[in-house]
Homo-oligomer: A and B are copies of this chain.
């Protein structure tokens, strides 16, 4: 959702901002948001704290700026999944979409769903519970059985682990993707349609 078409050749606005996002995200994922000081981010970039404050007026806004790319993606995945008519097809499209998002954005997603600081931040700034309601309403659909919401949240939370935690990390992205999709299909009991 960041400005995509910016006439080629022009130095992109916020080249420094992109580096800031990258550095901050890496440290957030490694040490947690609360465990990452603006000083540490500045040191890692070889600049001073004040340089960071040029881009964002507070740490909270920096965190939201780093996570921002996810929100549009999450909505897009929901849109694509909700377009299917049968529940299994919706669930499968959702699983495949989420796995794709996570494989490409493991750190960002792990910070979003796993960091306590972010959880509190979301409660006041962004509406993440609305996203969950959309899942229940539009993907699982009317009359959900008792276990599917639980299975979904177990999967959504658990799927970040293999990519960040030590033991299983380090697999090539295609294997990760295939294994995670299989996990999602198992826990949601989706019989694979002819793809």
Contacts and interface: CB of A to CB of B under 8 A. Distances in A.
A155 to B, nearest CB: 6
Interface stretch (A17-25, A49-57, A70-78, A111-119): A111-119
Copies of this subunit:
2
B115 A150 contact: no
Nearest to A166: B129
Contacts of A147: 179, 182-183
Interface residues of A, number: 41
A153 B157 contact: no
A43 to B, nearest CB: 18
A147 B178 CA distance: 9
A31 interface: yes
A115 B146 contact: no
A154 B146 contact: no
Contact of A116 (B115, B156, B179): B115
A183 B183 CA distance: 10
Interface of A: 30-32, 34-35, 114-117, 120, 129, 132, 136, 146-147, 149-151, 153-162, 165-168, 175-176, 179-180, 182-183, 186-187, 189
List of 6 A-B pairs having minimum Cβ-Cβ separation, nearest first:
A158-B158, A32-B116, A157-B161, A154-B158, A34-B34, A157-B158
